[in-house]
Amino acid sequence: MNLYKSKGLTEIINASGRMTALGVSTPRAATLEAMASAGQNFVILHELMDYADQEISKFTGAEASCPTACASAGIAISVAATIAKENLLQIETLPQVLDGFKNEIILQKGHAVNFGAPIETMIRVGGGKPVLAGQANKVHKEHVIAAINERTAALFYVKSHHCVQKGMLSVEEMAEIAHNHQLPLIVDAAAEESLSKYGEAGADMVIYSGSKAIEGPTSGFITGKKEWIQACHLQYLGIGRAMKIGKENIMGLLTALADYKEERTAEEIETMKAWAERLAIELNALPGFTASVVQDEAGRAIFRTAAKVDSAVVGMTAADLVARMKEADPAVYIREHYVNTGVLTFDLRSVQETDLVKITAVIIGCLER
């Protein structure tokens, strides 16, 4: 029984992937059992935070780690750490920045994205002042270097499919610039699969979601250099208090990490491709649809079905069709990143095999309405 459906809420076929708007992912049984057990007992929270620090770091290979309520909280807390460091007065004053403290956070203009909320807003929550370098489709090292001044607290890099995928500096290049100017580099890698790649590339703090690739509960963590992670922990005496993570979700996160495998097996990848191809074949049988299998924009080993909709043949735009799919029963939600170009994208990672036929049936029903 679908609990949400039993409460009169919309039944969803999630063909959009690990998206926050739909609840992100479905934690495994062991994760849920750990959360239930953790919820039935008490613990000294600072001891649990220290324990989580050590355990998370075993998986990331970093010097230290700090659990957070989510990746967005990780952005605010890591930014606050670069501004206040371990100064209690400034920690307690943020997001207002006291005289003498640096708070400008430099990021490439093509990384100033909206992931459901603006990245720049999360930076401001932590007391930071976003400074955009370069243009939306081209950034040179000189752009970033020219933006650095006596008010700069950190450089910020976003690794996401939302970002412009061309003309941006690499994380290694941003790390080189940061360290040449004695500044930390923060990397937002919320949905990324590798837990060590960005630290090895030179990042001082790396932010992850615990509920996306890791498939844990709503949670996140910051992992990186000990001096900065210690400052992250201290932010819970200030703005971090409003975004604290509970004992159940910490234990759920640690359990999910213990089960997590960074790389998909060849069999899993082939199954993903096969399902995507199967859906493409079904959609290609519909008048006005041209479908194929495409890989994730950010280079991850994720394969999806992309379908171009000919509105002249179909009788409605791709956006109109998406709206109808959301009103269907069950509702089908897809990735809408390219709907304005007439392309529907289906991410099948959170779909059951029995749902594949339902997706096509829902689309046919929407076309016939």
List the one residue out of 159, 132, 167 whose CA is nearest residue 146: 132
- Residues 309 and 343 sit within 8 Å (Cβ to Cβ): yes
Residue of 351, 302, 353 whose CA lies nearest to 14? 351
In terms of pLDDT, which residue wins out, 262 or 367?
367
Mean of pLDDT over the chain: 94
What is the β-pairing status of strands 64-68 and 343-346? unpaired
Of 23-27, 173-177, 217-221, which range is least confident?
23-27
Q: Is the pLDDT of residue 299 over 80?
A: no
Residue type at 90? Q
Q: Percentage of residues in the chain with pLDDT exceeding 90?
A: 83
* Domain 43-259 grouped into CATH 3.40.190.80: no
Residue range 195-207: mean pLDDT, rounded: 97
Work out the pLDDT band at 21, boundaries 50, 70, 90: confident
At residue 170, the pLDDT reads: 97
- pLDDT band, residue 261 (cuts 50/70/90): confident
Per CATH, which fold does 3-22+264-368 belong to?
A: Aspartate Aminotransferase, domain 1 (3.90.1150)
Report residue 143 as tokens. Answer: 């752009």
Look up residue 369 and give its DSSP letter: -
Residues sharing a CB contact under 8 Å with residue 58, sequence separation 6 or more, in sequence order: none
Residue 184 has pLDDT above 80, yes or no: yes
Identify the band that residue 324 occupies on the pLDDT scale cut at 50, 70 and 90.
very high
Distance from C-alpha of 356 to C-alpha of 353, rounded to nearest angstrom: 6
Give which of 199, 111, 212 is closest to 159, Cα–Cα: 111
Q: How far apart are CA 123 and CA 104, in angstroms?
A: 10
Mean pLDDT of 351-359: 87
Of residues 37 and 267, more confidence is placed in 37
Rounded percentage of the chain residues whose pLDDT exceeds 70: 100
Q: What angle (nearest 5°) sits at the alpha carbon of residue 68, between those of residues 26 and 100?
A: 150
What pLDDT sits at residue 357? 84
Residue 369 has pLDDT above 80, yes or no: no
| Domain segments of the chain as ranges | 3-22+264-368, 43-259
- CA separation for the pair 324, 301 (Å, rounded): 30
Is pLDDT above 90 for 246?
yes
SS3 101: coil
Other Cβ atoms within 10 Å of 261 Cβ, number: 9
